[in-house]
Amino acid sequence: MSNLGPSVKITRLMNAVAAGTSDQLSSALDMQGFDGVMFLTSFGTITAGAVTSVDVHQCDTSGGTYAALSIAVADDDDNQVVVHDIYRPRERYIKVNIDRGTQNAVIDGVVAIQYGARVMPTTNDSTTVVSREVHASPAEGTP
């Protein structure tokens, strides 16, 4: 097996969002050319009593919002990550919606890792990923 880097595409779909109770919807991710995607939704501090969940929406257009999957986030899940792994979604575009209510929840961000690329090597979203290095059996020492 070789490095994972050249066979996946990484995109940051949502930046950090300060404590609040308003819902947050990511930008749309185009799945054309990929078999699947893993979303990593990171949280910071979640206030006791917060009602929070992470929903994945899919649609055949980038503007659609049809709920597909949902994971509840407990109010003591501070500084943890919610993972959705979607293989062969039925629609071309996918978004992540973070439903926040009752009390504050801090969002650290949402990262998408698309896999099963039909064309390799892949390129990351240059507007959200600074760089990607791939190493195989690197020598020890100062980089």
Place of tokens 């699947």: 36
**pLDDT value at position 3?**
82
Judge whether 124 lies within some domain: no
Higher pLDDT pick, 141 / 83: 83
> pTM of this prediction?
0.89
Contact 69, 55 (CB under 8 A): yes
Judge whether 2 lies within some domain: no
pLDDT higher than threshold 70 for residue 24: yes
Q: How many domains does the chain have?
A: 1
Determine phi and psi for 123, rounding to 5 degrees.
-125, 140
pLDDT (average), residues 27-53: 96
Domain containing residue 96? 12-110
**pLDDT value at position 133?**
81
Domain harbouring 61, CATH code: 2.60.120.680
pLDDT (average), residues 11-23: 96
Judge whether 94 lies within some domain: yes
Judge whether 134 lies within some domain: no
